[in-house]
Structure 1
Amino acid sequence: MLDPLTAAALSVPLIFILMALGVPVFAALGVAGLFSVVSAESGAFAYSQLKNFPYHHTAVYLLTVVPLFILLGNFAHHAGVGRSLFGVARRWVGHWPGGLAMASILTSAGFAATSGSSVATAATVGSMALPEMRNAGYDRRLAAGAVAAGGVLGVLIPPSVLLVFYAALTEVSAGKMLVAGVIPGLISTGVFLGGIWLLSTLRPGLSTVYEKASWRERIVYLKDAWQLGLLIVVVIGGIYSGWVTPTEAAAVGAVAAMLLLLFAKGTGASRLSQIWGSCRDTLGTTVMIIMTIVGAGIFSFSLSLAQVPQLISEWVVGLPLPGLAIVGLFLLIYFPLGMFLDAFSMLVITLPIMFPAVMALGFDPIWFGILAIKMCEIGLITPPIGLNVYVIAGLDERTSLPEVFQGAGWFIAMELVGTAVLFFFPVLTTWLPNTM
């Protein structure tokens, strides 16, 4: 038998070896965790401890929010919410420098308020905005980068599956975690808009100016955003007011989005097909998340067996550094991890180690959660495995993958600015949930 710390130390490189061989992340985490437990104890001990592990870690009431929020987003997509939002945003900001790219960001922010998925947001907005910007003569890098970066708002602006996932892992209030994403989401949107304006002003060749709509036309087109307003009131308003729990809000929101889809223009047969497709996509995404929870849970159990979180927490608290500096170092760890892992995997690997230390230092867990989610956002557009970048490259065959990554690079710098604002001004994150 190996010493528990030695077994845990050997399991970490094993994860990366397995992933390099093409093993899915959830399986690599589970196998590495099982190796550590068996090496430190025995096969019989591992079996006795882990035989009911998948059930106990997934049969959690809060996790029913996950498929409901994903289903809500799928229904909203087929109901044409994104298409309506882009038409409204284009008429309000299209005449500004980089206006169509700004409209893409605003549409992404609006659609993110109906979808908990970054990929769904990027794909929905990209299918509409990329052809518009291409026809208007926009630089391919700016167009692709704006849509890829706009998609990351889907994991920050509620209803976000990742915010609920963080709440489930750390046992903080899911309702407060969701509401806490509102102001940081607005700040991130504002930073993107300001960055596009500055970039387009300094380099006019990147974009063109769209025809200015009259005030009357802008106001008339606001009526097309009523679907978004309805879903925001039902979901976010319901959670904030305490009228419904996050799970109930997700269920009511999914029903409302389905009704919007049923009453949208189109034949009955096409609507049934879209409902079926939405349910199928929701099932696939939910299974992926659940399997990640199981695999990561086994790995986290192996770390707890070796008391790794406790040892690191004690070591970190004893460092001769200010608490903010330690949290900043924690956040920097997410940067290289985001180059190779998805957001769910990053959280389940790091939180068992980081979260106890953050709590021991006396920081607000909701504030740290939003910062961790922001770093996960950056990973979605960071090479070599920026998931949103690959989605956009697949939508626009005329734009190469390096061009999309180059365009996303401008927005990574903007993301770092937004994260720094939230890091140094925690009240921007904590004020709204504290008023609930």
Structure 2
Amino acid sequence: MASPEDDQIKQVVLDFLRTADIATTTERKVLAHVQEALVLTRPVSEYKPLVSGVIDEFLASLDDEGAEGDDGHDEGHSGGDDDGEEPAPKGPGRKRAGSGAAAAAAGAKKSRKGGSGGEELLFSRDLSARRKARVRRWEGKLYIDVREFFNGPEGEAPTQKGLSMDPGQWARLARELPRLVEAQRSAEADAPPAQLAEKRMAAVSEFKGTCYLGLREYYEKDGKLLPGKKGVSLNLAESTLLLAAVPEITAAAGGLVDAPPLEHGATQPDKAVASGSGSSAASGRPSAAAGKAAAGTAAASGSQVGGSAEAREFVDIGGSKRVSISRFGGRLSVDLREYYEKNGAMLPGKKGIALSPDDWRTLAGALGDVSAALARKDSTYSMQLSGKRKVSLSDFKGTTYVGVREYYDKGNGEMAPGQKGLNMNPQQWAALVAGAPSISAALQQAQEGH
């Protein structure tokens, strides 16, 4: 039977959680608040199991609300909200297109008609047992949806836990995803968030020792940006699969669009850590005013928030590999290369290949075809560039790689891969696809003499 002190602690924890930013609140912060708010009879560490249980129950209640679809501000919208989002279908009554055992085993589904309401499912990729990334057309508009599903009486159905993005918002996310996933992998919970819309963010946060990538809509109240119910937090495995699926998702959505610049007054959440004072002002809730200057913050990798055709001289694709604009001997090229660190500086290594502007444009024009072959794990795929250079796929230890490489004649007419080239795993290829428009824009500016 719970003691009066236990009941008091539970109430303090619940009161704190109801006003805290769940995306940035940690168990340590909650324990610090309990210690600050109450006179405890034992060391605070002894209350950790109790506090942890209350947190789990609170999170489970949020999950139940999402599954039941009781998000009140979604009700009654026939044409979507202010951000152009079509509300997620509520509860059972509509089966996911192609739901059967055979279709589910495939993992990805394309060009299937949905159930009611004029929805057409163009693409679906499983991120985990319950979460999917989908491209769908609803009443003539395209949406890229990252959402959790549940098994209802009539089959699999979407919950309210997720975010539907228009093509412009997806373009911003696709370009920032390599940086965000790398930050999540490195447990950098203070990494700059990516702004998708005026009050929509993609941000890395830590909870109970685990980093999550949150895709969420915020709302403003009393000068604070507070997390709303629209959104989903992805673990590292889910965000990595989302990154790997960027080329296919983008192809299904018709390519990366020119996302219009965000308004200068757009807000961003403040990633400041709570000071431990226990006050609501220090509970990690973001300030609308404090975040305005963050819109355009660049990560150390050189990735920036911005429009789709923002020119960048290099894009970090992970694993110390970069795509960059290179100038040597008066010649302009796009360099795909692995770098190494020396004396605190990143220097180009021997592994790589410099593509002529024409070869880069050929590659950039075939991103969708290469990505489709990669999704099929088709190691027979090959695409010719100029001369003895080509793009091909290969398998190594269960992973399919995209190689851009120069070949040589072994002497009997048989072509073999040479040393000039770069192999990219699916995540690195996805990062190249996401950054390709920025590299192409920088290449065009360089050719025009800007």
Q: What's the TM-score bracket when you normalise by the shorter of the two chains?
A: under 0.3
The structure that has the greater radius of gyration is 2
- Give TM-score, length-normalised by structure 1: 0.21
- Give TM-score, length-normalised by structure 2: 0.20
**Structure with a larger share of its residues in helix:** 1
**Structure with a larger share of its residues in strand:** 2
Which structure's relative contact order is higher, taking Cα pairs within 8 Å and 6+ residues apart?
1
